[in-house]
Amino acid sequence: MWRNIRILALLLVLGAVALEQWLERTHTQSWRETLWVGIYPLNADGSRAAQSYVEALTREDFVPVETFFAREAHRYGVRIDDPVHVELYPQGSELPPELAPAPGPLAIAWWSLRLRWFAAHASTVPGRVPSRIRLFVLYHDPATLERAPDSHGLQKGLVGVVHAFATGAMTGANDIVIAHELLHTVGATDKYDLATGEPLNPIGYGDPGQQPLYPQAEAEIMAVRRALSPQESEMPHSLRGEVVGAATALEIRWTHP
């Protein structure tokens, strides 16, 4: 009897989690209301450069992300004026849990649980409405770091960790990473070759029907880079060089099969 009650309780918890995730997914993919996205800036390395960059950030710095989502959503016939609103929250003091390099499935599951736990606390700011999607943006001093660690966006939990460079010259590139991880949280998948980093043909190309095919005029945001040839690509300077491709639009339900 007790065993049955325990099993029932477990099933109820699992059912509640599944229902919550289903509701989150339905809500964030309806595109009938503006999606509120919170940027939670952090000083990743404790450097002076990152600190002064974070202190100088304003909400207006993230308007290109809003503009990108509006432009691309309208291209697919989404009617809402502002599909995404980006809100800037005060700098946090605690860094999110780190994912070990080359993690196994169990390590990823454990990390994502810890990240969701972290996000629940770190995104609560007194006097501020919580955002539906929470992006923790970790700014690094480019002088001490050649390549930023991998960024992550999770649909389960609607949370992302973005590694960015604390320099004005990289603002456009930072916006690309922010938009990419934000799209992961609403259900988009990567469209580049995980081994080589090259965009996948055709789903990772800005316009797979372009004649001639190379160089692609624009990059697909979930592939990030613009194909110059089957083996070469480059990262655009800003979101002006990125588009949402047909496969991504279908995944995030801007279009329907």
- Closest CB to Zn ion among residues 54, 176: 176
- Closest CB to Zn ion among residues 42, 224: 224
- Closest CB to Zn ion among residues 82, 190: 190
Least Cβ distance, residue 163 to Zn ion (angstroms): 12
DSSP secondary structure string for all residues of 133-195: EEEEEEEE-GGG-SSPPPPEEETTTTEEEEEEESSGGGHHHHHHHHHHHHHHHTT----B-TT
DSSP bridge pairs for 153:
160
How far is 231 from 237, CA to CA, in rounded Å? Answer: 20
Burial 144-172 (b: 16+ CB within 10 A, else e): ebeebeebbbbbebbbbbbbbbbbeebbb
Least Cβ distance, residue 189 to Zn ion (angstroms): 8
Least Cβ distance, residue 256 to Zn ion (angstroms): 23
Least Cβ distance, residue 192 to Zn ion (angstroms): 8
Note the residues at the interface with Zn ion (CB under 5 A). 190
- Closest CB to Zn ion among residues 47, 155: 155
Q: Which residue is at the shortest CB distance from Zn ion?
A: 190
- Closest CB to Zn ion among residues 61, 190: 190
Least Cβ distance, residue 51 to Zn ion (angstroms): 28
| CA-based torsion, 139, 226, 71, 184: positive or negative | negative
